[in-house]
Structure 1
Amino acid sequence: MDGSPGYQVALIIAVGTVAMLLLSVAIIMFMVFYQKKMIQEQMKRQQLELDYQQKMMEAALESQENERRRVAGDLHDSIGGMLSTIRVGLSTLARQIPDPESIEQPKQMLDDTIASVRQISRDLMPSTLEKFGLVQAVREICDRFQATSLLPVVFHEEGDVPALDPKKELMIFRIIQELINNAIKHSQATSIQVSIYSTQNLRIEVEDDGVGFEIEVQRNVTHSGKGLGLFNIENRVRLLNAHLDFEPHRKKGSKITLTIPHEALV
């Protein structure tokens, strides 16, 4: 009975079916493993590309800061020193000529030039940031923008800002500096408020009562090569693992909020 042709055929069919099932399972497992491997390789490549882009952005921004530091030093030490020497020479000359009042106007113009050079040097490399930290540096730059633009720039803070990594602190300062500068130049505002809140996250708000703006238009301006302000802001935001929220269509003015997790600040 067991050796009958029908039994043998059935056994062959059963064995063949099991073999086909095992082969199918093996093929499916291979495809799943292969796809998983491909996805992992793709994710690895994307991560490498992101890491490369981040390093390139860091290098570009660091190069900018090094150049600012160099120019600030040249302005302060070389040009500032030469102008101060000329100022001393004018003062000496004033005591030797019959009409010292005749050089009062050139002396005043020279004093204004020296003050401008010092101001530009401080804007390029804020010594207050290195000495006293972010809050005091932002307070100072608000006062400075207000003095030069004759536009009220109000500073407000809540909570204690923790000690920050110096490079990240500088990036945050540059973002705030650029946002205030944009508001003064483009918003037609009559007042600007800069607020720093330190709670679960570090939150910074720059708000104005001007005409608002179209964020996509600003991005198009940047992409056309006419401006790098927004491009540099968004690059710094990405490097900080932060979030930038635009509210350009309020009833009046605009509000930009920078939110940075505390764990990204150390």
Structure 2
Amino acid sequence: MPESKIGEKALDSIIQEMIDTVTNSKDEIFQIGEQSRNEFEQLDRELNDTKKQVVEIIDAGDSLERQVRFSRMRLSEVSKHFDRYSEQEIREVYEQTHQLQMQLSVKREQEKQLRERRDELERRLRKLEDTVERADALGGKISVVLNYLNDDFRQVSEALEDAKEKQAFGLQIIEAQEEERRRLSREIHDGPAQMLANVMLRSDLIDRTFRQRGVNEALKEIKEVRGMVRSALYEVRRIIYDLRPMALDDLGLVPTLKKYLATIEEYNNMDIPFTAYGEDKRLDPKYEVALFRLVQEAVQNAVKHAEASKIEVKFELKRSLVNIIVKDDGRGFDTSQKKEKSFGLVGMKERVEMLDGEISIDSKLGSGTIIMIQVPLN
């Protein structure tokens, strides 16, 4: 048997072992996530009950404190006019004051313990929430790896000449998938996860607002929470759309861009005119996806960071060349200063380089930004 065949069989065996290991790991991570989620829900209920108990015991303590002050005033009055009261009356006043003080001390100690329990529950909830998020993110990554190992890798391995090429190609694909998952994880963490955390915090205030400030103020809080939920839903839909716009396969690049920009324009209440020139034809799927992502990233940068009111998008398709111009009237930035964590521009430059294209960014503070992209169609 040729040496290459033996190598391929050995590598296939290793891949199968990887699949089994990753599958088992995914099941374990899922169990950890479910256990953490169940514990989170249980602790969240306990936290709500504890918060109610804290409020109740504070009210009871305040009431006792008023009674203690009144009893002390009564005791002071009896002490000043000792000759007016009998020994029995004096003893009763003293014992009543002492008993109220003891009850108040007990209430304050209970309040302290409940506050400590509440703070501990909040800390545990934050840790559990982080665990659930990590488990979900890691589970998603492992699902991608499993899909790749089960489907694409089998087909690709048959086309590769030997085991070394197969291994190198597989590592490149996994690295690209992992980078995409990291980007998605950042977007979920900075977008919907933060918004939902704020919704949870604001929802805790609604009950207190209702009791302390009335129905109208509580309704205002509910309206604000509704707006936050709407924003979170939009972010989730946008992220799902970012993963793979289905219209791209059915309609093609230009109609998908037109639909996408119209949606962004409507949601953000801004002007995004789109103009398409040149030939009306379908491109290779890899070009359609890449070009769509470039326009998407440029527009999202203008919406999120430039505070623009108008974004112009021009798309020109020639026989062997694509030109893209994205211009906004936002605040602009100094291109000579490198910003930390500027993942959007870095990703655009890397994507253009992979297509053997060119990108130029012209921007000045207060003068908006113009992004010009040119990609050859090989």
Partner of 1:177: 296
Matched, 1:205 2:325: yes
Using the alignment, how far apart are the partners of 2:333 and 2:172 within structure 1? 26
Displacement of 1:170 in angstroms is: 1.3
Using the alignment, how far apart are the partners of 1:58 and 1:214 within structure 2? 35
Using the alignment, how far apart are the partners of 2:369 and 2:323 within structure 1? 16
Displacement of 1:58 in angstroms is: 6.6
Q: 2:343 aligns with which of 219, 228, 231?
A: 228
Matched, 1:140 2:255: no
Whichever structure has more helix as a proportion of its residues is 2
Report if aligned partners of 1:155, 1:193 keep a CA contact under 8 Å in 2.
yes
Using the alignment, how far apart are the partners of 2:182 and 2:279 within structure 1? 32
Please report the TM-score for the alignment, with normalisation by the length of structure 2: 0.39
Report if aligned partners of 1:146, 1:152 keep a CA contact under 8 Å in 2.
yes
Q: Number of paired residues?
A: 170
Partner of 2:360: 245
Gaps of at least 5 residues in structure 1 are 1-53, 70-104
| Code of the aligned partner of 1:259 | Q
Using the alignment, how far apart are the partners of 1:242 and 1:55 within structure 2? 25
Displacement of 1:209 in angstroms is: 1.5
Matched, 1:186 2:305: yes
Partner of 2:31: none
Q: How does 1:89-108 map to 2 (within 5 A)?
A: none
Larger RCO, structures 1/2 (Cα 8 Å, 6+ apart)? 1
Using the alignment, how far apart are the partners of 1:187 and 1:127 within structure 2? 28
Change (3 A) 1:252 1:67: closer
CA RMSD between the two structures = 3.6
Please report the TM-score for the alignment, with normalisation by the length of structure 1: 0.53
Change (3 A) 1:58 1:196: farther
Report if aligned partners of 1:151, 1:191 keep a CA contact under 8 Å in 2.
yes
Q: Helix, strand or coil for the counterpart of 2:273? A: strand
Partner of 2:210: none
Q: 2:336 aligns with which of 212, 216, 221?
A: 216
| Code of the aligned partner of 1:210 | G
Report if aligned partners of 2:325, 2:371 keep a CA contact under 8 Å in 1.
yes
User: Runs in 1 of length 4+ with deviation above 3 angstroms?
Assistant: 54-69, 111-120, 249-252
Using the alignment, how far apart are the partners of 2:170 and 2:329 within structure 1? 37
Percent identity over paired residues = 28
- Residue by residue over 1:193-243, the C-alpha shift from the partner in whole angstroms, topping out at 9 and shown as x without a partner, is 1110113521011011122222232xx22xx4x231111111101101010
Displacement of 1:164 in angstroms is: 2.0
Report if aligned partners of 1:139, 1:155 keep a CA contact under 8 Å in 2.
yes
Partner of 2:243: 124
Using the alignment, how far apart are the partners of 1:229 and 1:190 within structure 2? 20
Change (3 A) 1:113 1:262: closer
Q: Helix, strand or coil for the counterpart of 1:183? A: helix
Partner of 1:154: 273
Displacement of 1:163 in angstroms is: 2.6
